[in-house]
Structure 1
Amino acid sequence: MYKVLTTIVLLISSMFTVQAASVSPYQTLETTGNSLFNRIAQQQQELAKFPDLMRTIVEEELMPHVDYKYAAFRILGKQLKKTTKEERNKFADAMRHYLVRTYATALASYTDQQVIYEPEKSFEGKRVVAVSTRIIDKDAPEIEIQFKMRRNKKTGQWKAFDMVVEGISLLESKKAELNRKIQQQGLSQVTLELASIAK
């Protein structure tokens, strides 16, 4: 038990060290991506038996680097001012679970494709940076994915808040879909629906 606790403490410490050192959105994305894709590749046998393991991988490897709360508030847009703090938090929590499910489903088709990250560019003075990646599969067309990264004012840490696949923004698509529903049904009902989809 002591060894297990020590290992957990060391892992958490190393995570914070990596995050503190990752002052670049490019470095943050590449470090996170490599860790995520390597783990998926290594656990192919387990994933074949237990597909839900992908959600655990996404939770542990990807979500600490996703600014789901900012994404949720962006989706609410003008509706944000009309909501209470409790409503916003419940919606953000439902959005987090929805993103875990969405990313897990998208990553289910990943086996061991090559991922090429955009070379680092100057980002001085910027709070939002778009970083491009290319997924290369010898048996399928190349896919371009752009991650929109945002720097936290307090921590200086960069996190992703949107994913643009072949020019289509996941955030903007969800915003267009949910805004109509929120206006018609109310935020509480949409939050419940979102939470049920994410199960």
Structure 2
Amino acid sequence: MQRIVNSIAIFLVIFSMSALSYGMDQSSPYVVLEKVGDKLFSRIAASQQEIIKFPQLMQNIVEEELMPSIDYRYASYRILGKHLKNTTKEQREQFVDSMRSYLSRTYANALMQYKTQDIVFEPEKSVEGKKIVGIKVQIVELNSPTIDVIFKMRKNKQTSEWKAFDMVVEGISLLSSKQAELSNKIAKEGIEQVSIELASIAK
């Protein structure tokens, strides 16, 4: 299970990064996924010795290259679900900031586990007229079962950028799982307390 969790977080990093920073075609989430993935892991592979000596480097990479391009606000609102309508603007901003910090630390920790697994991308399909698409990717590792991952991507109507907000592994949505985990806590403890707890985990 831990290998699956690590692989999921790693692959969320792959296609959530900004394709614009590499001058890529933003009209296709498939192009973003494959090309950015190749570039990201080439960089990680080339920086292995530095990362071993200075683990904080991975956190810096995540902050600089990844977090500006993750649709963490949309994901945060989806996690809040029914609680969203009962929050103030200030409470929402605090929760989004805490979730961003939590995700940043999670991705950095997961990337530390990367061991050059093979990646098989689904062939490109038409996304004309679609705002949300799911893309299948396979994680292939020697002497281990192949893991099928479906990435949920959303197109921003203002910028036309495709960004990640969820992924599904063996029928389990990470977004839905996190929502189920936090929903009762928010109901019992309040959104402000949950935001504080998320922020403390990220430190």
TM-score for the superposition, normalised by structure 2: 0.84
Give the structure 2 partner of residue 17 of structure 1: 23
* Structure 1 gaps, min length 5: 1-11
CA distance in structure 1 between the partners assigned to 2:158 and 2:23 by the alignment: 17
Over 3 Å counting, the alpha-carbon distance change for 1:16 and 1:30 in structure 2 is: closer
How many equivalent pairs are there? Answer: 185
**1:122 corresponds to 2:88:** no
Farther-moved stretch of structure 1 (38-47 vs 187-196): 38-47
Partners of 2:180 and 2:134 lie apart in 1 by 21
Deviation at 1:87, TM superposition (A): 0.9
Partner of 2:162: 158
Query: Which letter maps to 2:170?
Result: E
Q: Does 1:90 align with 2:94?
A: yes
2:167 paired with 1:167: no
* Kept in 2: contact 1:32–1:62 (CA 8 A): no
Cα deviation per residue 1:56-84 (whole Å; 9 max; x = unaligned)? 22223332331000000000011111111
Question: Structure 1's 110 and 172: CA in aligned 2 closer, same or farther, altered over 3 A?
Answer: same
Structure with bigger gyration radius: 1
Q: Distance in 1 between matches of 2:120 and 2:196?
A: 38
Mapped contact 1:32–1:65 kept (Cα < 8 A): no
1:107 and 1:73 map into 2 onto residues whose CA distance is 25
Aligned to 2:3: none
Gaps of 5+ in 2: 1-17
CA offset at residue 147 of structure 1? 1.3
Please tell me whether residue 186 in structure 1 is matched to residue 190 in structure 2.
Answer: yes
Q: Residue 48 of structure 1 aligns to which amino acid in structure 2?
A: I
Confirm or deny that 1:42 pairs with 2:46.
yes
Distance in 1 separating the partners of 2:146 and 2:62? 23
In 1, Cα distance between equivalents of 2:46 and 2:120: 19
Relative to 1, partners in 2 of residues 1:77 and 1:132: Cα closer, same or farther, differing over 3 Å? Answer: same
Out of 133, 141, 145, the position equivalent to 1:141 is 145
Report SS of the residue matched to 1:77: helix
TM (norm. structure 1) is 0.86
Q: Deviations over 1:114-138 (max 9, x none)?
A: 2121111111111100112112222
Identity in percent: 58
CA distance in structure 2 between the partners assigned to 1:144 and 1:100 by the alignment = 23
